[in-house]
Amino acid sequence: MNNPALYSLLADGMLVTHLLVITFIILGLAAILLGRLWRWTWIYSQKFRYTHLVFIAIIVAQAWLGRLCPLTVWEQELRLKAGQAVYTETFIQHWLHRILFFEAEMWIFGLLYTAFGGVILACWLIDRKRLNH
């Protein structure tokens, strides 16, 4: 398959997927914290909480191992197959990259992800007896 337009579209889809994962992790934690205050029962869903915990655990592990997110790697590979320079900006890329990516040392990302993951893990440990089975 050698269709640059299709690879470009798939790369944009990968970028959107990346944004959705990040949004799920951030808004998921906000929902857990607010849900405890406002007594939302759905925040105790095992499926939701385990998925949330696994996602952040993967991100923390990647950061500590010094690895790029697979979604970033796959997007870059698709862009190269599309004949685009990595991070050549389409409209979607321009805005999503501004939201998702910023320059910093890798250890800073590791520290931030670990702190965020620690809060998620603490919430999970506090609520684990209330998680729906």
Name the residue range of residue 17's domain.
Answer: 4-127
pLDDT per position as a tens digit, 2-25: 899 999 999 999 989 999 999 999
* Residue 63 vs residue 133, higher pLDDT: 63
Global pTM value: 0.83
H or E stretch covering 62: helix 46-65
Give me the pLDDT at residue 105, please.
Answer: 85
Report helix, strand or coil for 65. helix
Residue 37 tokens read as 């205050």
pLDDT digits (tens, 9 = 90+) for 75-129: 989 989 999 877 655 545 666 777 777 778 888 889 999 999 999 999 999 998 8
Q: Round to whole Å and give the CA distance between 84 and 79.
A: 5
- Give the model's pLDDT for residue 56: 96
- Asked whether residue 20 is assigned to any structural domain, the reply reads yes
Q: Is residue 133 part of a domain?
A: no
Q: What is the pLDDT of residue 133?
A: 61
- Count of C-beta atoms within a 10 Å radius of residue 43: 22
In a domain, 32, yes or no: yes
- As for how many domains the chain has, the answer is 1
Please check whether residue 132 lies inside any domain of the structure. no
Give the list of residues 6+ apart from residue 103 with CB closer than 8 angstroms, or none: none
CA distances, 94 to each of 10, 15, 30, 79, 85 (Å): 16, 11, 27, 14, 14
Q: What is the pLDDT of residues 45-78, one digit of tens each?
A: 999 999 999 999 999 999 899 888 899 889 989 9
**What pLDDT, on the 0 to 100 scale, is given for residue 17?**
94
